[in-house]
Every structure is written in C-alpha cells, then in structure tokens.
Structure 1
C-alpha cells in the first residue's frame, strides 16, 4: 500500500485528472464533496449547494399526480436530505470544468417533495464551487444504484441504473433524456464507447447480463449468461483485441465474456471469500488487468489474459471494500479502494 488518504466515511469513490495531479473524490453524506490529491495527499472539502437540489421540472407520484414548482403554492417543498442526495457518485469533465455527478437514494425525492414521491435524482455539481449545473434529472422510481459518465461524439453522457431496474441516459450538455431502458432489479451497470457507439451493460437480480445500444434504445446481441447467482459488479475492457465484459457474482467469483460473440473467456476468477462488490480495469505493462474489491475486506489483482490472480490479496481495510477505481500517478498504474471502515487506500499495481 502506498498510503491511506482518509478516516472519514464517504459514499462512493471516483477519480478525476486535474492540474496538479489526479484526485480521488468522495461524498461524505453531510452534503459535501471531499477531494484527495493522489500525488501530495492534500485534502479538500467543498459543501454542495443543496438549496438548489429540488427538481425544476414536473415529477409524477405513484398515482400519476404531478408535482410542479409553483411560486404561489402555499405548500412549500421540503429540503433535500444530504444523506439521500449522494447514494453514489462519479466524476467527469463537462465543458472544460471538473464536475461530480451524484445519484440519490430511494427517499431522495421524498425529502424534497413529500411522502407521495419516491426515487433518486441525478445531479451535476461543479467540483470547485459546489454549485449545481443544469437541472435535477429525475425518472428513477427507486434509488440510483450505479452511475457512469462516457464522453462521446454526441457530448458527455451520464448513465444511471436504479433499484427497480431502470436505465436512464442523459445528454449532459443539453440535459436531455436520450434513453429509458429496462435492466434488472437492483441493477448494476457499466458503460463505454464500443465500435464508436455508446453501450451499456446491465445486470442485477438474475443470472444474465444485457448489453444495450444506447442511441438506438435496443439490446445489442444476446444476453450474457452464466452469472451465479446474480451480478454484483460489472466492467468493460479490451482483452487481446476484443471487447470483454467482466461481472462479479454472488458466488464470490468474476466471469469474463466476449461482448461480440457472448462466449465465455476462460474460467471463473476465484479467490474472494465473499461477494465481489466492485471491479475496475487498467493496463499494467501493456497487459489487461482487473482489480476487484470484495465484502471479505480484500482487493485482488487479476491478469485477465492468463485468468489468474497476481500476487497476494491487498489487505488493510476493516470490513468490506465498497468501491475500487484505477488511474495513473506519474505514469504508474495505481488502484484506490474505499472501505466500509471509512478509509481510502492507495495501492501501487507495478
């Protein structure tokens, strides 16, 4: 391990490249974004402007009744619950400025609009000022369970999967919803550009994954089968010249598929003693590598071409490893892990 960055519990973890070195980003559930410089270890905290968190557009409740912002309405809307606003997060660059994207929990809109409304909203925040950018994006009937951003020729896209199995995709520069798809309940998701087009892979409480052509709004190929018993984390990478999909399952293993053919690549990657909660990919010495985090409190590094673990497990967290992300510091590949113990730890992969 290179060093430990935090002793404060955060929700979610992302990395973003900024002047002065890459930063790890987390949300502290008190309504603030934390950043850690991965070169110097310097920390920063920026409260978010949660007064702007309420939706601007109409929102239907479970019975189809519509809530609309009305300055003359005697019933004042509530305040955003800081804990619910940041159930998960990711980071990106939008129009040249660093931003954090948060996904709300199941009762995010309940706190804002009242008990007839449930669902998590997606919001974009300026990392430097904490101010919201654009509109609050709604549509999930339950909490947002995973987020991804993908830069494309169409602009920066944000993907949000939710507990009820919905997958919503927005064009962030325009704030326009471009896809509303049906994934799996308690959904996990990853997204990337494949063959010049944005695609998403969804999974959850079933034994298969589905790949989606987002712009066409339709499935891409047949489901990827063999997840046992359910998908708990997914990732996309390039492996020996082909696009590969990785999925962690409730059986504590990771499986790999060829996205184009749907065929399995190698056998399960086994080593974790509990559920695989996160998968990140990178390249080390030109080789495709995956780093997985598990509820067994370990992170593990895998050579995907050989289908075997590299070295010993990365240990140090007390409790499960919730999120793993990868990046480079001064040309060296590293992994950053977020633990249930409130620590964020940095590991060299060379």
Structure 2
C-alpha cells in the first residue's frame, strides 16, 4: 500500500542509485541536482520529472595555486618537475559534497571534494578535498579552486554576507574554510572539531557558522572574521548533524548525535529548549529544514527519514517509508508552490516527492 504523502514518483530508466541530492531553482521551477555513484551529474525538474545530464568542465578542476603535500613539499602548476605527474580528476571525488545557489542571477553548483580529490589530480603524496564553484548553464568553473583541507570535505553550504555570498566547507580534520563564492578568495580559516559538521546562517545581520563533531560541544563563529561568538555550547554528546533556524523570533540551533535524539538550543545562550525529540533507532546523521514553520527532516543510517514540526516539538506522521523499498540513498527538502516537501533518491534511481506539511 502506497503512503498517501507520496505526491510524485519519478523512475529512472537507467536504474542507477542516487548518491547525492541538493535543491535548486531552474528557470523559476523547483528542481534537485544529484549524482550517481559513478560521479555523473544531473538535474531533475520536480514538476515534470524530466531528468537532464549536466556537464561541468572537470579539466579545469586543478588548483591554480601551490599546494603542499603531506611532507610539506610544494606542488606548483608552473614547476616543470611536476608537469609529468599531473593526473585526471575523479568525478566521484570532486562531487563528494554539493550544494546549489545563485550568483548574479544564474544557477551555480558548489562542490566539495572527497579525501582523494587532490590525489587523483596531483599524485599519491597529496590528500584533501578541494572546493569549487561551477556555472550550471555553461559548466565552466567560477573563480579559483579552494584548497587547504587535509582530508575530505564533510559539510558544505553557502551564506550571504556584506562581502558577497560566501562558501563554507568543513572537513574530516575539523578545519572550516570560508571563501568568496565568486572568486574563491580565502576569507577565514577556523579550527573546529575532528570529523567536522557545520552549518551557517545569518543571525542578527551577520553570517555565522556553527561547528561540531567529535567533541561534546558546538561553537559559533563569525564567518567573516573567524572569531568565536561567545563560548562553546555543551551538548553532552558528540555532534553528527547541525542545523540553524528561527522560532518565534529566536535563533535556534538543532543538534543530533549518537544518542539518536534531536535537540534544540538557543543559539546565543546555549540554553536547551524543551525535551529531546526521539524516534530514530540509530545515530542521526543529517538534518534538513524546509518551510517557514519550520519543518525538519532527519536521517539515520539504514532507516527511513522522520519529519518534525519544530514549533510544536513533535514528530509529523510516521517514517517516510516507500512501499517495498529500503531506506533512501539520498534525502533533501525544499518547497513546491510554497509548501514544504521532502525529496528522496533511491537505490534504483527513483526520485520521490513527499508532502510533509501535514504528515
């Protein structure tokens, strides 16, 4: 029996598993951009289901500036000694993390590389994921490749600021890099927790980043200066997922970790708000927000997503379980005609849209 919340189902003729999903708007129409496990990139119109391949110029993925290897030796694009060692980009590694936004009115894709992103390009002595911005219409890279992560990018987002839109990326070693979306210019470098998770938002008129990870705390940072905003906020458990929203005019932080619960905190004071929200059997690994209410969609390994009304601090309906399906391979949330929806990708390539406003 089909779940009544499934509003649309878009099968994939190729049957390849969906690896990642991110929402975007194309020509005024809600869509998602995603990848398959082989690194192939595509967009899907959420009103018609039309799925189109997207190409980006991976030949331009290499960094423009010198990059040190694990022992401090510098790779330089202009050094003849390194000319013969150049490799080819690995699409899967380049597209390890992705998000979409707009720059000067055009849709752009931002990608964060996996642990072996630079290895494929520069050789086995180099590790780390680079951050790149791409024009989604032309496929051309925008600005410089951002390097500095010693391991893979674990979280990636964009946020507006007085200096223009920013890209924030955190990595396995806990390094948070802030760069200008249009140019790739480094704005700030912040040391967070190992296995870094991160989100960003505008709070009281300034862009802030919130970081967590292996340590039982989260920290708030001014994204333009790299300076801490207040002291750290203790969570009592390491943090696997973070989100920031606003409830009743108050900036609110959502965290989740290995205690399998979703918690809400006052972002400024660190004061807990209400009782933890329980429902997952395993550790929550991602939190996605949609709608003005707002509504949160949470993911845990090998479990279907759950939906939460944050204003009422309660779960909305049951898990998002498709008939005869395992848990989805990718999840995101967005809006269609002003209504919040969850979008799930599955092992057979199917994409489903779920009405979650009244789950």
TM range (shorter): over 0.9
Give the match for residue 287 of structure 2: 279
Unaligned stretches of 5+ in structure 1? none
Deviates more, 1:48-57 or 1:339-348: 339-348
SS of the equivalent of 1:75 reads: helix
Q: How many pairs are equivalent?
A: 347
Please state how far the C-alpha of 1:323 moved relative to its aligned partner.
4.6
Asked if structure 2 preserves the Cα contact closer than 8 Å seen for 1:295 and 1:321, the reply is no
Give the match for residue 58 of structure 2: 50
Output the CA distance in 2 between the equivalents of 1:222 and 1:341: 46
- Cα RMSD (Å) of the superposition? 1.9
Give the match for residue 237 of structure 1: 245
Please state how far the C-alpha of 1:121 moved relative to its aligned partner.
0.5
1:79-118 alignment, distance < 5 Å: 79-118=88-127
- 2:191 maps to 1:186: no
Output the CA distance in 2 between the equivalents of 1:309 and 1:70: 56
Please state how far the C-alpha of 1:17 moved relative to its aligned partner.
1.5
Deviates more, 1:11-20 or 1:154-163: 11-20
Output the CA distance in 2 between the equivalents of 1:224 and 1:296: 30
Output the CA distance in 2 between the equivalents of 1:192 and 1:127: 24
- 2:216 maps to 1:207: yes
Asked if structure 1 preserves the Cα contact closer than 8 Å seen for 2:285 and 2:299, the reply is yes
What is the TM-score when the length of structure 1 is the normalising length? 0.93
Q: Closer, same or farther in 2 for the Cα pair 1:227/1:341, shift >3 Å?
A: farther
Q: Closer, same or farther in 2 for the Cα pair 1:8/1:224, shift >3 Å?
A: farther
User: Which of the numbers 2, 8, 12 marks the counterpart of 2:7?
Assistant: 2
Output the CA distance in 2 between the equivalents of 1:223 and 1:335: 32
Q: Closer, same or farther in 2 for the Cα pair 1:57/1:10, shift >3 Å?
A: farther
Asked if structure 2 preserves the Cα contact closer than 8 Å seen for 1:222 and 1:262, the reply is no
Unaligned stretches of 5+ in structure 2? 1-5
Output the CA distance in 1 between the equivalents of 2:276 and 2:329: 21
What is the TM-score when the length of structure 2 is the normalising length? 0.91
User: Which of the numbers 333, 336, 351 marks the counterpart of 1:344?
Assistant: 351
Give the match for residue 38 of structure 1: 46
Give the match for residue 3 of structure 2: none
Give the match for residue 334 of structure 1: 341
User: Which of the numbers 71, 74, 80 marks the counterpart of 1:66?
Assistant: 74
User: Which of the numbers 292, 299, 303 marks the counterpart of 1:297?
Assistant: 303
User: Which of the numbers 220, 224, 229 marks the counterpart of 2:229?
Assistant: 220
Asked if structure 2 preserves the Cα contact closer than 8 Å seen for 1:272 and 1:298, the reply is no
- 2:142 maps to 1:130: no
